[in-house]
Amino acid sequence: MPLRIYNSLTRRKEEFAPLVPGEVRMYVCGVTVYDHCHLGHARAYIVWDTVRRYLQTRYRVRYVQNITDIDDKIIKRAQERGTTWEAIAQEFTAAYNEDTQRLNIQPADESPKATEYVEGMVALIEDLIARGYAYASGGDVYYAVQRFPDYGRLSGRQLQDMQAGASGRVDDEPHKRYPLDFALWKGVKPGEPSWDSPWGPGRPGWHIECSAMARALLGDRLDIHAGGADLKFPHHENEIAQSEAVAGQPLANCWMHNGFVNIDGEKMSKSLGNFFTIRDLLKRFSPMAVRWFVLQAHYRQPIDFTEAGIEAATKAWQTVNEGLQFAATFLTTPSPSKEGEKRRSPGLRKLWTMTSTRPWPWRSCSTWPKPCGLRPTFCGGERRSPLTKTWPPPRRLCTNCVVYWGSRRKLQQELWLGTSVFTSQQPPTYKP
């Protein structure tokens, strides 16, 4: 059954076919390392981690996620703290790695840092100028959005519609020819880090880094480009304008965007004080409960974080985890012999006894094996796939082992994905 993925660019589910058969090149916009990651970051990276793991069951996946280690906010934070921007970037990169590792997020195949690709960005900007898409002005370089016919396509906007909102905010950037033009290169200001360029010392604009890094590591055309819904405009719109103007072909075949996290029904924001960092959250709840909480919901829908919700997720995870552990034991036990029975813990023995004596099917299992449990619906039409079904529902997992008796391999495969998505456990090994 073909995989179908919702493409933000076309606003439809489309059949997914990698450009190179068997291989998927995926780029995810990563963090700007100026502060600790919050729940919203956690959701994004858990979702993309899960998508990646699912794709890995079908394809060879190359997953690149950048780290923005030079940016206005980093510089500002360094000034506030009286330290260097490098120190800030280093500190929060380390914190990011620690947080994601605790959340059982697989490290990316490549984690390029913006500062390591300045050369590529300069080359890209030169190319854009040569092709007439960008202009140097007063030490800065801007992208002339009016030159790019498709500008606004991803976010469904027209330039005319956006002007009204942008007109009031041009004061700080007097070198722009058009209010919606965006900076590719920012001329150096006193006390700021800078790199040499044909336009004088300065630093790259935010959007150009992703274009340069994606190109350097994955080529001119990606299979999947993903990120938070808030990046659609202007970040991804600008990336498209930059990359496609130079490459002359679509930057990505499929664009995927994850939804936001609300707190008690309100938008998460620092001013409202409803802001959770990952590390604060993990002081109170298990990483797997957080994963469960995030993965319960459709990845494109907003999720509302509430105390009751995370507690429910914690309990749900506990139940599932017990089932997984039982099933893992089940799989590694040769047969339901008395000998095998003795090796189980009392709790597992009890479950074992129950499953091996209960008749099936009985009423509560009448719906098996319909999709249940976790369902990251980035893939429509994938009802029977491991991730859309994942595993039999928690309470029934143990009992359904009986049903699976004749096809342990199938169960093993599903459990492998299930456990690897939720825990760092190794898949149970089954020796026939």
Q: Which residue has the tokens 């938008």?
A: 267
Neighbours of 243 (CB within 10 A): 27
Q: How far is the CB of 130 from RNA (least distance, A)?
A: 26
Q: Give the residue among 344, 335, 286, 338 at the shortest CA–CA distance from 315.
A: 286
Q: How far is the CB of 167 from RNA (least distance, A)?
A: 9
Q: Give the residue among 115, 118, 21, 110 at the shortest CA–CA distance from 68.
A: 115
Residue 81, token pair as written in the block: 């703290």
Nearer to RNA, 111 or 155 (CB): 155
Nearer to RNA, 200 or 380 (CB): 380
Q: How far is the CB of 20 from RNA (least distance, A)?
A: 27
Nearer to RNA, 321 or 420 (CB): 321
Q: How far is the CB of 94 from RNA (least distance, A)?
A: 17
Angle at 68 between CA 66 and CA 72, to 5 degrees: 165
Residue 294, token pair as written in the block: 């995030």
Nearer to RNA, 23 or 161 (CB): 161
User: How deeply is 331 buried, as exposed, middle or buried, from its count of CB atoms within 10 A (0-12, 13-18, 19+)?
Assistant: buried
Q: How far is the CB of 232 from RNA (least distance, A)?
A: 7
Report the C-alpha gap between 305 and 293 in whole angstroms. 9
Strand partners for 133:
none
Nearer to RNA, 120 or 376 (CB): 376
Nearer to RNA, 249 or 357 (CB): 357
Helix segments in 191-261, DSSP class H: 206-218, 237-247
Nearer to RNA, 301 or 426 (CB): 301
Q: How far is the CB of 183 from RNA (least distance, A)?
A: 9
CA dihedral 45, 233, 131, 64 (to 10 degrees): 0
Nearer to RNA, 61 or 226 (CB): 226
Q: Give the residue among 106, 54, 103 at the shortest CA–CA distance from 388.
A: 54
Residue 82 DSSP one-character state: T
**Core vs surface per residue 293-323: b (16+ CB within 10 A) or e:** bbbbbebbeebebeeeebeebbebbeebbbb
Q: How far is the CB of 394 from RNA (least distance, A)?
A: 5
Residue 372, token pair as written in the block: 């249940």
Neighbours of 181 (CB within 10 A): 23
Q: How far is the CB of 11 from RNA (least distance, A)?
A: 6
Q: How far is the CB of 234 from RNA (least distance, A)?
A: 5
Measured between alpha carbons, how far is residue 272 from residues 9, 76, 310, 386 in Å? 32, 22, 20, 40
Nearer to RNA, 35 or 223 (CB): 35
